[in-house]
Structures are given as C-alpha cells and as structure tokens.
Structure 1
Amino acid sequence: MTQQQQQQQQQQYGYAPNNYGQPPFGGFINDPAAQMSLQMGKTAVAAGQEYMEQNFNRYVNVSAMKHYFNVSNAYVVNKLFIVLFPWRHRPWSRQQQPMATSAQSAPMFLPPREDINSPDMYIPVMAFVTYILLSTLLAGLQGAFRPELLGLTATNAFAVVIIELLLLKLGTYLLNISNESQWLDLVAYSGYKFVAVIFTIALAAITTGAKGTGGYVGWSVFAYTYLANAFFLLRSLKYVILPDTASGAHNPIARSQRTKRTYFLFVYSYVIQLAFMWWLSSL
C-alpha cells in the first residue's frame, strides 16, 4: 500500500498521521467504537451514582446533614471556647431563618456559620477522631502501646456513641419528639463531650507526665470539664427539648409533657454525661 493510500485511509477514519506513521491519541477519541464505550461508561457511572444516592438518602437526609457541617474557622474557635467556658455566654437562643415555617423540610434555624448557638457536627466528628489518636498516643508515652490498642480505643468510643444514640432515640420516642431537625440537634450536641474529654486527658497528661487522669489534678480537671459540659448542654438543649412559644415555637407542649422533658433534660445533661465522660476519661 502506497503512502498516499495510507494517508487517505487515515483521513477517512478522522485522524492524521504522526511522525511514526501511526494515528495520534486523538484518533482513539474520534473512533466510533471508542466513543460508544465512553458513553456506556458514563451511563454506568451515572446509574451507580444515582443508585447510591437514592439508597443513602433512604437512611440519611443529606441536605439536612449539610446544614450541620456548614461551619467557618471563626465559628469553630468560638464554639470550642463556649463548650469549655460556658459560664458567661449570653444569649443562648438560636436565630431563625427568614420566612422559616414548620412545614419546611430544611432546618428552620441559621447554619452554624451564621449563628454561634447553632449545633454542628464538624466539631464532634473531629473531636471523636482526635480522642482516639490522643488516647493511643498517651498510651504509647506510658509504654503501654500495642498494635491492637487503636482498634480497641475506637471500639470503646463507638460503643459510647451507639449507646447514647439509642438512649436519645428512646428519649425522643417517650417525649414525643418526632421532628427530624430536633433529633439531629440532639445527635450533634451528644458529641461535644469529646471536646471536654480531650481537654481533660490532655491537661492531666501534661501535669502528671502522661500518667493518665488519676490523681488530684486529673480528677479536678475532670470535675470542671464535666460541669462545664453539663451546663453547656442544659442551656443549649433547652431550646431543643423545651421550645418557648414566646420565641416562635410552632407546637406548644402540654404541661405534663413539659415536666417529663425537664426531667429528661436534667438527667441527660448531668447523670448520663457523667457516666459517659467517666468511661471515656478512664485511661
């Protein structure tokens, strides 16, 4: 076959020869079979993505979860300060979105980026991971590190989270809390204890030479962080569990139900958190 015939054949398939007499990469893109394969691949990926989103959304409201991760650097710093030093913070009320109604599927309150009193899930998730890594690090400094310790610490922390979520689910059922936004608020607030626990074990390690939280200093720090966390939850959860009709709540609470919710708020903030924080801090 002459060179002229080769060029004509190459032009017929939509590519020009290179210096080696072979079609360049662009010829593969223009090939009908390659284009069909590429289109089939895109269709398969899109179908898989749609399937995953549909099944994931069946259990998790992605649009609602985005609200709790909408944070800024300033919010994270200020929120950490409030969690550890909540005594003089004012006010505790949350800001509602303009033209918000109870019929909306999205949260009625401003996201954390715009309201310091809004709960978030970014800090709890980061604190959860930091707790696991810090606990393992301190064990290594004490000479007690072993390969399976990381998994054991993670399992211990996960057990606390799962048990607390089950208790919250039971509590919302008994208290007739069916609003998804209120449930997610409770889940977000449940994770702030890890911030207090990290502060406890880190400060105790500094003052005791990484010998754990035992001793006068360690348990004194634990007592402070426990009371700070309990006070923070008591003031923050009041607007979740006991919404005030004067502040724009849409569903007034009966007197008997309000009494039950008050008891739950106290027990959850002081009794349940004491048990979980002691569990997590006992290294």
Structure 2
Amino acid sequence: MATAPALRPDPTRLFEDTSAGAAFLAQPVSSFAAAYGSSLASQGKEIVGRNDWQVQYQQDTPVAPRFDVNAPDLYIPVMAFITYILVAGLALGTQNRFSPDLLGLQASSALAWLIVEVLAILLSLYLVTVNTDLSTIDLVAFSGYKYVGMIVGLLAGLLFGKTGYYLLLSWCCVTIFVFMIRTLRLKILSEAAAEGVLVRGAKNQLRMYLTMAVAGLQPLIMYWLTFHLIY
C-alpha cells in the first residue's frame, strides 16, 4: 500500500509568514511610538508656551499689562525711580552729605540719563531700520527696571559696606543684562525671524549688536548712578 508523501514546508511560505508576523507586530509598536512622540511634542509645546518670554497679543494688539506678566508697564519703573531717590537721600544722610540741592541734582541726573538712553535707543532703531512694535513708553519701562537693582545695591552698601554693594550690584547687573537680552531679542529680531533672514546677514548682525549694546548699557548706568553714594 503506497503511503502519501510527507508534506514539506515551503521555505518561501516561511519567509512570507515571518515577514507578515513582523509587520503585524511592528504595526502596534509604530503606532505606540507615534502616539508617544506626539504626546512628548504636545507636552514640550505646553512647557514652552508656559515659560516663553513673550508678550501676548490679541488681534495684533499687545495684551494689557494687568493680563500679561511679560507686558511692560510703568508701575515698577516709576516706583523704583522714586524709591531710588529716597534711598539715595538716606545714603547721603548717613554720610552727613544730605542737602535738598544735592538730592535734587541726584534726581535730575537720573532722569536725564533715562531720557538720553531712550533717545539713543530710538535713534539706533531708526538708523538700523528695525521695524518693531516697541513704543517710547515700552523703552522707558524696560530702561526703568534697572532702578530695582540699583536700590538693592545701595541697600546692601548701607548694611554691609562696599563689599555688599559690589556683590549685590554685580548680581543685579547680570540679571538685568539677561532680562534685556531675552526681552529685546524678541522685539528687535522679530522682523528678521519673520522674514527668515539668516543670522549671519549683515542687517541681522546689526540688530544683534544693538540688542547687546542696549543690554550692556544697563549695568554701566547702574554703577555710574550709585558708586558715589557708597563710602
């Protein structure tokens, strides 16, 4: 009685089955990887949006400062300027050098430096032909934030002498420098970013130099208006 020949597996079918199984297993893995990557991307966008150093807009108009912590306002600069004059008077009084004329000279000097600084920035923006939404009030606000650091430096000098003054003022100078860089680069370089201009472009380099110059000017004025008040 003849026996039926044993069925031998077809090698081609084996490879086909293996590839089909691999594709079946790879499909959920790739789907999981895509979903996980999308989740990470959305979380990253949420973190960036929450910590972004940028003013919010509503219908091409900046949001009011009371609704946006990054929006410049004049409350802190004005209060800091007045407090700086008062602390300067206190420093002069502790050194037996106080007089109304000297205090008035201190206030007028600080105000004059502020006006000159804002006018110089406006002129620089005009010469570099930067199209920005920075207004004169915004520049006054940004330039007035340095008075907070000047107050801290003066108080440290009154309490701890010259060592405390230089340490605290140096720290405040670094913070205001970083603040101005991170703030103004979004304003001054925004046009270049929108136009897709390369960073190595001549016009964009001028914008970067202008941003660095404005930020570097803040520590110089902070020191110039306070060093003579500490002995």
TM-score (norm 1): 0.57
Answering whether residue 130 of structure 2 is matched by residue 169 of structure 1, we say: no
Aligned residue-pair number: 177
Structure 1 match to 2:222 = 277
CA distance in 2, matches of 1:245, 1:171: 16
CA distance in 1, matches of 2:90, 2:99: 11
Structure 2: which 5+ runs fail to align?
Answer: 1-49
* Structure holding more helix per residue: 2
Measure how far apart 1:274 and its partner are.
2.4
Distance 1:187-1:178 versus aligned 2 partners, 3 A rule = farther
Answering whether residue 83 of structure 2 is matched by residue 130 of structure 1, we say: yes
CA distance in 1, matches of 2:144, 2:78: 7
Q: Which deviations, in whole Å up to 9, do the C-alpha atoms of 1:26-65 show, x marking residues without a partner?
A: xxxxxxxxxxxxxxxxxxxxxxxxxxxxxxxxxxxxxxxx
Aligned residue runs from structure 1 range 196-215, under 5 A: 196-208=149-161, 215=162
Among 237, 241, 247, the alignment partner of 2:188 is: 241
Among 214, 223, 230, the alignment partner of 1:268 is: 214
Distance 1:181-1:234 versus aligned 2 partners, 3 A rule = closer
Quote the RMSD (CA, aligned, Å): 2.3
**Mean Cα displacement is larger for which, 258-267 or 144-153?**
144-153
CA distance in 1, matches of 2:88, 2:197: 43
Structure 2 match to 1:158 = 111
Among 81, 86, 92, the alignment partner of 1:139 is: 92
Higher relative contact order (CA 8 A, sep 6+): 2
Structure 2 match to 1:90 = 51
3-state DSSP of counterpart to 2:122: helix
TM-score (norm 2): 0.69
Measure how far apart 1:142 and its partner are.
2.1
Structure 1 match to 2:174 = 227
**Mean Cα displacement is larger for which, 188-197 or 137-146?**
137-146
- Identity across aligned pairs (percent)? 35
* Aligned partner letter, 1:164: E
Measure how far apart 1:196 and its partner are.
0.9
Do 1:177 and 1:183's aligned partners in 2 also have CA atoms closer than 8 Å? Answer: no
Q: Which has the larger radius of gyration?
A: 2
3-state DSSP of counterpart to 1:94: coil
Structure 1: which 5+ runs fail to align?
Answer: 1-88, 101-107, 209-214
Do 2:181 and 2:215's aligned partners in 1 also have CA atoms closer than 8 Å? Answer: yes
Q: Which deviations, in whole Å up to 9, do the C-alpha atoms of 1:95-145 show, x marking residues without a partner?
A: 111x32xxxxxxx21111111111111111111111111101221122211
Q: Which deviations, in whole Å up to 9, do the C-alpha atoms of 1:11-30 show, x marking residues without a partner?
A: xxxxxxxxxxxxxxxxxxxx
CA distance in 2, matches of 1:281, 1:268: 19
